[in-house]
A and B are shown apart, each in its own frame.
Chain A
Amino acid sequence: MPESLIDKAAKVIELAKKAGASGSFVHTHQSRGVQCKIRDGVLEKLQESTSRSVSIELYVDGRYASHSTTRVDGLDDFIAEAVALTRALEPDPDRALPDPALYGGARPTGLDLVDPAILALDQKQRVARCQAMNARLTGKQHVISGTSTMHDGHGQFAAVSSNGFQGTYESTYVGNYSSVTLQDQNDKRPEGGMGCGARQLATLMSPEAIGDEALARATARLGSKKGPTLTTTMVVDRMAAGAMISRLLGSANGHSVQQGRSMWADKRNKRVLSRKLTITDDPTLPRGLGSRPFNGEGITAKVMPMIEAGALKNYYLDTYYARKLKMRPTSGGPSNRIVTPGKRGFDELIKATKKGVYVTSWLGGNADSTTGDFSYGLRGHLIEGGEIGAPVSEMNVTGNLIELFSRLAEVGNDPWTYSSTVVPTLVFSGVQFSGT
């Protein structure tokens, strides 16, 4: 365990106190990461890194500031200066350290965030894995170039507060990714990719399966054309569906609500979305990419309902915005967001769609967090008579997020688990597409 990180954090707390801070919260971290990239069978890039940082939140004379540095030794001057800077700001009555009562309760155990197999990886294994992915791309029909990447790393984190919090944890991460560019007619070179990330090496898809899926996804783009302007059913691939959930919940937080920039401001506990939608924030998910024993404020991890049968139940609230809104803090940001699966699988959902657009990935676009009005570019396929048809590109989907999710017709049973946003295939009815 990173004991020295805790000691370091405790030392910084003392420095802050000496410099005149009435309270402080310190995070320390160190990590190591490796990246390996193969292009067309040749090693293109090998990168290794070590990182470290100290960050401190300071409460001085009713004022607040935060500071971070990677120069972690001899911090006396840094802290003294940080305290002086904090004094130059204006008092903020809503700033306070988190309530120590929230540090209590049993921290989740069995998160299983460290994989010894990742810690033991060597360069040969990384290269072999990348070569195995890339071998499924190189020399295949239409392929101009294929690239396969592996990232892995190990991070250690500690936090100490002046009002009694102390905690550490560590985690490993590994990701594999393949992308490939194909020669289409004319000058177009459509690309496709496939990737997955996990806390454990054994959880990843096989390198061969990743390479195959990347090639299949790129090949599916060959001959794509601009689709028509129409209003129809939208089936969103499980790998593209996570982005939809992030957009939907992007402004369900204290900052957005309090600053009048959230479409959720007046909608808590009102059923404004389809009853089929239930989303849980779960930091206790074993091996979860967003799992953690406590959050950035030291608040003990617990499961929180976000959306229950179409009604928003909670905002992401840190101590500051909770005080401003006169509510109880929950957690400042998301951990794992898990959409409750439905009954049918992807194939059945497509089969049940007479006419529609199957969205495989997004391209640009945005949403207004205050109104929920959105417009996104997409890539995908037309669905005709329950079958996936011609590839389409250069299309947008436009509407309002709340209105769109009120027309969520079905949730699949096939959640994509290689993400902290765990979402199955989503089907929406009556969606506006623009094309030709």
Chain B
Amino acid sequence: MNDPISRRRFLTHSAAAGGVLTIPGFLLGCKPTTSTAPPVVAAAPKPLPQNPFLDWFAVDEARLRKVMAELTARGADHADLYFQYSRSNHIVLQDGIISRAHTREEQGVGLRVVVGDQVGYAYTEDLSLAAMLAAAKTASAIANAGAATQPEHLAFKGSSQYYNLKVPLSRLGIDKKLPVIQRAAELTRAGDPAISKVSVSWSDTEERVMIVDLRGNIITDQRPMTRLWVSTTAKKGNETRANGSNLAGRRGLDWYDDTRLQQVAKEAVDRTMVLFDARRPPAGELPVVLAAGASGILLHEAIGHGMEADFNRKNVSIYADMIGKKIAPDFVTIVDDGTIESERGALNTDDEGTPCERTVLVDKGVLATYLHDQISAKHYNLGKSTGSGRRESFRHVPMPRMRCTFMENGPHTKDEIIASVKRGIIAETFTNGQVQIGAGDFTFYIKNGWMIEDGKVTYPIKDTNIIGNGPDALKKVSMAANDSKLDTGGWTCGKDGQGVPVSQGLPTVLVSSMTVGGKNA
């Protein structure tokens, strides 16, 4: 079996023409799949072998060739068809009951023509040949030359498997999810007598992606994503505080075991209760200690976006002239990696069909590589992209994006770092961040943190925006500990109106000075 999806099951689903998964398939609960072995790269057989993705999207070689020919009739350096189906299930427990569910199903194809740096794009949710040809004609209008050479044959290309669920999400019945949601709510309510409201959200999404490119490659990927979110409100007298925590990844329901549910419940309760005592830190420039894990948001905003090659080929990033330059101390190595198993930012293949990889952005303090899609890889004569071409859906063009961004371990310890700070803060949990690519100014918002005075943690802080400048902040990374870890919560990165799932991580790090939005003296 060459495919991550059991063929028989897939065919069963597509047999429910126009509908979705069959009712038994949806409500029945689990039947473990037998096929989780990585696909084998086969020599291209002709004609195309039977394939569940072709069946699902109701296309065959002849149709794909017709659409590709129309798409590239006015020329193309590169072209691709991006077929995507996704189904999301969202369930909410609120005020003690499983009070609502939402399912969302989307299917369509995006057709892209690339000529140099120019892109023609069209999408349609109607997968009939006529609709696809019409969209192809629209997208082809960007080009202005003779027809591109068509591939001799189409062939499936294998890819790695960085997410292997025991039970695929399309086989996961709602009856299996409800107890997990209820357990999370129960643990959270029991966390503190002051907790007055608890709501728990679960969401699972399965995407089926098939990319066909002008070289004749067909790349397929089945992508799972799950997330559990706990929201809490607590009351003490007239005071009300609310907060929450979440878990996410390309993981099955079994990952949300009792230990993890206890973790997320405890985080939600602790992060809420501490707000009753939390204060605003002093305003102005202060040393900032970034706690291990979610603080990877610093990398995401301070350097990650600026390293996306589209900004650099257009010369509009502050990092545009810095490759090979020393931008941080020797102990700083920053990586963007799409191959870490089960991570939210993991991908078997990017959305242009390039296998994902581990890309070192900063190697021992030296700026090493940008994150490339195919357009920028060609622009920089690289031969291949870094597998960073991502898109939100078939409605969007791919562009260079982060996957899982983190800093490797440094030489210090967390205790050393805290002890070294005379007056500063610890940033622990975050809600959001932003960056200006060209100016390099970035921000991130601290929901929970701590004040440090004379090397000791003194009181909790809250609701503090941090603002800094990317290259300046990296220079000021003065210590990094040996406790690097990835955040287990779910992050979504937005760029040019497109949201994609990402992961981030960091060891405990000290930035010697950033501007802290706090209380004026």
Contact = CB atoms under 8 A, between A and B. Distances in A.
B437 to A, nearest CB: 7
Given A77-B18, A260-B196, A377-B443, A226 B142 contact: no
A394 B466 CA distance: 9
Given A68-B105, A88-B175, A261 B242 contact: yes
Interface in B7-36: 16-23, 26-27
A46 B242 contact: no
A69 B104 CA distance: 6
Interface string B96-118: 01111111111110000000011
A81 B20 contact: yes
B392 interface: no
B520 interface: yes
Interface string A250-265: 0000000001110001
Interface string B411-442: 00000000000000000000111101111111
A95 B92 CA distance: 14
A434 B102 contact: no
Nearest to A50: B124
Contacts of A365: 443, 445, 465, 517
B280 A364 contact: no
Given A81-B21, A377-B465, A188 B316 contact: no
A368 B274 CA distance: 14
A371 interface: yes
Contacts of B518: 375, 398, 434
B122 interface: yes
Contact of B19 (A75, A224, A259, A434): A75
Interface string B465-504: 1111101000000000000000000000000000000000
Nearest to A251: B242
B83 to A, nearest CB: 13
A70 B463 contact: no
A124 B120 CA distance: 15
A61 to B, nearest CB: 14
B344 interface: no
Contacts of A371: 240-241, 463
Contacts of A169: none
A343 interface: no
Contacts of B120: 45-47
Which of B108, B280, B434, B515: most chain A CB closer than 10 A? Answer: B515
A90 B242 contact: no
A272 to B, nearest CB: 15
B141 A46 contact: yes
A105 interface: no
A116 B228 CA distance: 46
> In this complex, which of A47, A188, A368, A393 has the most chain B Cβ atoms within 10 angstroms of its Cβ?
A47
Contacts of B46: none
A118 to B, nearest CB: 18
Contact of A370 (B27, B107, B241, B465): B241
Interface string A74-94: 111110111011101111100
B520 A231 contact: yes
Interface in A117-144: 123, 144
Given A39-B314, A70-B106, A78-B19, A191 B439 contact: yes
In which size bucket is the chain B interface?
Answer: 35 or more
A72 B141 CA distance: 28
A145 B284 contact: no
A221 to B, nearest CB: 7
Nearest to B106: A70
B370 to A, nearest CB: 15
B463 A374 contact: yes
B139 interface: yes
A49 B110 CA distance: 9
Contacts of B105: 67-71, 78
Contacts of A82: 103
A73 B242 CA distance: 43
Interface stretch (B152-160, B317-325, B353-361, B451-459): B317-325
Interface residues of A, number: 87
B118 A65 contact: no
B404 to A, nearest CB: 22
A432 interface: yes
Contacts of B26: 81, 84-85
B233 A71 contact: no
A320 B216 CA distance: 52
B444 interface: yes
A434 B515 contact: yes
A390 interface: no
A109 interface: no
B163 interface: no
Given A181-B316, A226-B515, A398-B465, A363 B397 contact: no
Nearest to B178: A88
B471 A187 contact: yes
A377 to B, nearest CB: 4
Given A190-B439, A434-B515, A229 B119 contact: no
B51 interface: no
Interface in A334-373: 363-371, 373
Contacts of B23: 77, 80-81, 84
26 contacts: A43-B118, A44-B119, A49-B122, A68-B103, A74-B19, A84-B26, A88-B175, A88-B178, A90-B97, A145-B314, A181-B316, A188-B439, A191-B437, A191-B438, A363-B467, A364-B444, A365-B443, A370-B241, A373-B463, A375-B463, A393-B441, A394-B468, A396-B516, A434-B284, A434-B516, A435-B284
CB-based closest 7 A-B pairs:
A77-B19, A74-B18, A396-B517, A364-B443, A189-B438, A434-B283, A364-B434
Interface of A: 39, 42-52, 64-78, 80-82, 84-86, 88-92, 95, 123, 144-145, 181-182, 184, 187-191, 221, 224, 226, 229-231, 259-261, 265, 324, 363-371, 373-377, 379, 393-398, 432-436
